[in-house]
Amino acid sequence: QLACPLDLGCHSVRKGGTQECLLLRTCSLKLSPSLLAKVSARPRRADKLSMHYVGTLLGGPRDGSKFDSSRDRGKPFQFVLGVGQVIKGWDEGLQGAVVGERRKLTIPADMGYGARGYPPIIPPNSTLVFDTEVLKIE
Catalytic-role residue among 77, 91, 107, 130: 130
- Per-residue pLDDT, 39: 53
Catalytic-role residue among 77, 107, 113, 122: 113
Known catalytic residue: 53? yes
Taking the C-alpha atoms of residue 56 and residue 74, their distance in angstroms, rounded to an integer, is: 17
Known catalytic residue: 67? yes
Catalytic-role residue among 53, 77, 91, 122: 53
- Per-residue pLDDT, 124: 95
Known catalytic residue: 79? no
Q: Which residues of the chain have pLDDT under 70?
A: 1-41
Q: Is the backbone peptide bond immediately before 120 cis, with ω within 30 degrees of 0?
A: yes
pTM for this predicted structure: 0.73
- Per-residue pLDDT, 40: 58
Q: pLDDT for 102-129, tens place per residue?
A: 888 889 999 999 999 999 999 999 999 9
Catalytic-role residue among 67, 79, 118, 131: 67
**Helical segments of the chain, H only:** 33-36, 70-73, 88-93
**Cβ proximity of 91 and 81 under 8 Å:** yes
CA 38 to chain CA mean position, Å: 19
- Per-residue pLDDT, 126: 94
- Per-residue pLDDT, 99: 86
